[in-house]
Amino acid sequence: MSLSFSDMWDLIETNHSPSMFSCELLVGIFWEETMFTNRRQLHGPAVGFGQVEPATMKAVNDYYGTNYSETLILIDDGTSVSITSDVLSMFTDKGLSPMGALYAYAGVKARPANQKKVTQWLACEQILKAGGTDDTDNVRAALMAAEPHHGDAVDSVL
């Protein structure tokens, strides 16, 4: 079941580690990937709001000494937010630019068409930063920018 935008925003503000990536950007990632649903990927091994792959989870655990697991991510919404934050931080800590980190997160190298995802996430971020998170019409526009194909579901989370 999808979380409301308000609940998702609160989770992100509480569990997103300070980094160069904004809470607004995570909204875009989470909406595009799962429509704010903490779940297993429908046709693959990724988990959580941000659909983190097992190999990426292992890399984060090795790099930061954390203990993320598929089970923990799926049963704890805060952990599902934290892993995405840590993945992005790991990529920049390893020397990628912010855009490079987003491309790596989206898997653009393996699937160049995924560059569109990054563009959508950044559009969502820009809209939310410009118009805020309290204006329902602004949030609607941001979610539509993050993933136009989820349009029928937008009003259910507002």
Instruction: Tell me the CATH number at 34.
Output: 1.10.530.10
Asked whether residue 114 is domain-assigned, the answer is yes
pLDDT digits (tens, 9 = 90+) for 76-119: 999 999 999 999 999 999 999 999 999 999 999 999 999 999 99
Asked whether residue 13 is domain-assigned, the answer is yes
Total number of domains constituting the chain: 1
Rounded distance between C-alpha atoms, residue 47 and residue 36, angstroms = 12
pLDDT digits (tens, 9 = 90+) for 1-54: 799 999 999 999 999 987 789 999 999 999 999 999 999 999 999 999 999 999
Asked whether residue 80 is domain-assigned, the answer is yes
Burial group, residue 27, by CB count within 10 angstroms (0-12, 13-18, 19+): buried
Asked whether residue 113 is domain-assigned, the answer is yes
Asked whether residue 158 is domain-assigned, the answer is no
- Lookup result for tokens 């079941």: 1
pLDDT score at 17? 87
Asked whether residue 157 is domain-assigned, the answer is no
How much of the chain exceeds pLDDT 70, in percent? 100
